[in-house]
């Protein structure tokens, strides 16, 4: 299924906005010291920014796992983005699905700034390609 350019750009913009809104939610959860919720929302903020990039570059997204694989394959392994941007998803898996795992403040805080940098870098890339 082919997508018109205007539709594609609309989706790219919506995904970036969703990433930034979700990142603001993370900041709120951090202030409340809800570390598990912050870890989960941090993953989704990054996920939405990755989706914007993949959509922008006409790459098909079929799942969360597929988005992660495509991002690493096309942007991390090719050195478009730094290696650390490819390592932000594992914390959510533990916090959401392992009832014995408690996310710590340090784990969330160590990923918060890299996630902000990643979202900003992706937004800059997709915005510059539009202009």
The residues spanned by each domain of the chain are 5-130
The whole-number pLDDT of residue 72 equals 92
Instruction: Look at residue 43 and tell me whether its pLDDT is greater than 80.
Output: yes
d(CA 79, CA 12): 22
Instruction: Look at residue 106 and tell me whether its pLDDT is greater than 90.
Output: yes
pTM: 0.90
User: With contact defined as beta carbons under 8 Å apart, do 25 and 115 qualify?
Assistant: no
Position of tokens 């805080």? 109
At residue 90 the predicted structure's pLDDT band, cuts being 50, 70 and 90, is low
The whole-number pLDDT of residue 96 equals 73
CATH number for the domain running over 5-130: 1.20.120.330
The string of pLDDT tens digits covering residues 45-88 is 999 999 999 999 999 888 988 999 999 999 999 999 988 877 66
Question: What residues contact 57, with CB distance under 8 A and at least 6 apart?
Answer: 74
Show the DSSP H helices in the chain as ranges: 5-31, 35-56, 64-71, 90-97, 105-130
Question: What residues contact 129, with CB distance under 8 A and at least 6 apart?
Answer: 56
Neighbours of 4 (CB within 10 A): 8
């Amino acid at each position: 299924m082919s997508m018109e350019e205007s539709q594609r750009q609309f989706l790219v913009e919506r995904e970036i906005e969703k990433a930034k809104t979700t990142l603001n939610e993370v900041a709120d959860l951090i202030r409340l010291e809800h570390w598990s919720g912050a870890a989960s929302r941090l993953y989704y903020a990054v996920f939405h920014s990755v989706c914007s990039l993949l959509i922008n570059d006409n790459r098909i997204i079929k799942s969360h796992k597929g988005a992660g694989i495509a991002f690493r394959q096309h942007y991390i392994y090719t050195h478009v983005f730094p290696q650390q941007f490819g390592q932000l998803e594992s914390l959510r898996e533990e916090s959401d699905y392992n009832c014995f795992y408690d996310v710590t403040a340090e784990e969330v805080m160590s990923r918060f700034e890299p996630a902000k940098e990643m979202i900003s870098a992706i937004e800059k890339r997709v915005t510059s390609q539009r202009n």
